[in-house]
Amino acid sequence: MNIYDMTLHQLWKMLREGETTVQEIYGSFAGRIEEVEGRVGAFVNLTPDLAERQVLKAADRWSEGRGITPLTGLPVAVKDNMSLVGVPVTCSSRMLENYIPPYNATVVERLAEDGAIFPGKTNMDEFAMGSSTENSAFKVTRNPWHLDYVPGGSSGGSAAAVAAGEVPAALGSDTGGSIRQPSSFCGVVGMKPTYGRVSRYGLVAFASSLDQIGPITRDVRDCAIMMNALSGHDACDSTSADIPVPDHTAGLGRDVRGLRIGLPKELFGEGIDAGVRQAVRAAVDLLVGMGAECMELSLPHLEYSLPVYYIIATAEASSNLARYDGVQYGYRADDVKDIIDMYSRTRSEGFGTEVKRRIILGTYALSSGYYDAFYLKAQKVRTLIKSDFDKAFTQVDLLITPVSPTTAFKVGEEVGDPVQMYLSDICTIPINLAGVPAISMPCGFDNGLPVGMQIIGKPFDETTMLRAAYAYEQSTDWHKRRAALAE
């Protein structure tokens, strides 16, 4: 097996036992990036100089036996909406093309303190608005399983980089499925933690009541390792939960006997492709065969998730993106007539079509005379959706659904139909509205493309969710398959 095919925990074991070095590991992944990046397009900015400096520091830590963690000397890619000091954070938008942050995001700082290596910033849908990574201002990322297909979005660059063997792990952000959906499409593991579990300081905001940072990895153990590094209270983030952080790896290896699993009937019916439904049902049957208990239940307000999300998320986007006006930083239009012309042209030229669409929708929802009818009502229905989850979790320990109604679609197939694109997140959006944790993991293939199963946990109970995910993973070999980068 090539080094670039290995997981974080496999690489760490090799380092610990003296079977490889930090330099050899980085060299393998750097060579893989050089080999495949031209076809995949996972990165918007490679940072070899930074990575090489970090490699030297990590090698010293290993040689001295000082401050070694499970991530010391191992590459982790960073989605390009998180601040990495001295490196542009573009959000894959012309608006921020030349913005260089003077500080690290908290998650980046924590990984750096652990000795992780940052080979680059990954491509994404502009300002995290999209489900295919086709909305990037710079390039279209391709799905490593089939290069004619999308990797999902908005964290498509991060998921594709892991699936293609360019890095063993990456950071993504998830506002309505942007970690889980691309992880499903690319056949890797991706997790959205409970809202507040991981600091958002240094993440460029899309929708602040929904955004959450999480890991994308090759297997569940790596996901737990990353969560141990990322989790914890941060005084710089007022939404960060000040509660104890468990060892997310502690429950791995425990069986699922006695765990109660709920299947929301609303997400197994019409609109879900037969091949996807069959793969997820087979995964549930395997868990039941391992001793878990299963029951069907209803989340009656789930049908309102999509309209509620696209009111709340666009309203918050309208507010958050108002700061990009060409005055303090970011893109500014040239040869303007007056300040109104400067505002108008800067935002028209700096933002892409999808971002402008969402800003317009959100501004309308917040406008005088419509606030109560749209935004306020959506928040009330959001409370009902969260109550559905709260009630379900009095009956079960976990919920299981598909991650996406379909497998990956072809590049260009849905980009001109925003409603169809929005429907690809129908299974993931409710989790962000409720603020609960969820993980996507491979559970099969349909038409040669990966299918993802979504396991949903109780708030701040990521350990039970990871326990079930790991038990399933160890009974299958889906996570061991590697993308062939086929045309």
pLDDT digits (tens, 9 = 90+) for 400-455: 999 999 999 999 998 888 888 888 899 999 999 999 999 999 999 999 999 999 99
Contact indicator for 404, 446 with CB cutoff of 8 Å: no
Nearest CA to 152 among 406, 357, 343? 406
C-alpha span between 101 and 84 (Å, rounded): 7
pLDDT of 418 reads 84
For residues 445-471, average pLDDT? 97
Q: Nearest 5 degrees, angle CA 50-CA 39-CA 22?
A: 35
Which pair of structure tokens corresponds to residue 1? Answer: 């097996």
pLDDT digit string, tens, across residues 38-95:
999 999 999 999 999 999 999 999 999 999 999 999 999 999 999 999 999 999 999 9
pLDDT tops 90 at residue 484? no
pLDDT tops 80 at residue 338? yes
pLDDT tops 90 at residue 296? yes
pLDDT of 358 reads 97
Contact indicator for 135, 60 with CB cutoff of 8 Å: no
pLDDT tops 70 at residue 165? yes
pLDDT of 487 reads 64
- Write down the mean pLDDT value for the chain: 96
Given the residues 92, 93, 178, 404, the one annotated as active site: 178
Amino acid at 258: G
Contact indicator for 235, 342 with CB cutoff of 8 Å: no
**Does the annotation count 79 as an active-site position?**
yes
For residues 154-179, average pLDDT? 98
For residues 232-251, average pLDDT? 97
pLDDT of 224 reads 98
The DSSP 8-state label assigned to residue 65 in this structure reads T
User: What are the chain's domains?
Assistant: 3-259+436-480 (3.90.1300.10)
Q: In what order do the strands lie in the sheet with 189-192?
A: 43-46, 120-122, 76-79, 169-174, 212-217, 189-192, 438-446, 449-456, 398-402, 260-264, 293-297
Contact indicator for 12, 89 with CB cutoff of 8 Å: no
Give the list of residues 6+ apart from residue 466 with CB closer than 8 angstroms, or none.
220, 223, 224, 227, 248, 249, 251, 252, 439
C-alpha span between 261 and 156 (Å, rounded): 29
**Does the annotation count 139 as an active-site position?**
no
Helical H segments across 191-338, by residue range: 220-230, 274-289, 305-320
Helical H segments across 321-376, by residue range: 339-350, 353-366
Write the burial class of residue 253 (CB in 10 Å: 0-12 exposed, 13-18 middle, 19+ buried).
exposed
Residues of the chain with pLDDT > 70: what percent?
100
**Does the annotation count 178 as an active-site position?**
yes
Which pair of structure tokens corresponds to residue 154? Answer: 């908005």
C-alpha span between 225 and 211 (Å, rounded): 21
Write the burial class of residue 207 (CB in 10 Å: 0-12 exposed, 13-18 middle, 19+ buried).
buried
How do beta strands 120-122 and 76-79 pair? parallel
Given the residues 28, 79, 121, 424, the one annotated as active site: 79
Contact indicator for 93, 355 with CB cutoff of 8 Å: yes
How do beta strands 43-46 and 189-192 pair? unpaired
pLDDT digit string, tens, across residues 93-147:
999 999 999 999 999 999 999 999 999 999 999 999 999 999 999 999 999 999 9
Given the residues 28, 83, 131, 154, the one annotated as active site: 154
C-alpha span between 74 and 5 (Å, rounded): 13
The CB-side HSE value for 28 (13 A sphere, CA atoms) comes to 19
Helical H segments across 211-334, by residue range: 220-230, 274-289, 305-320
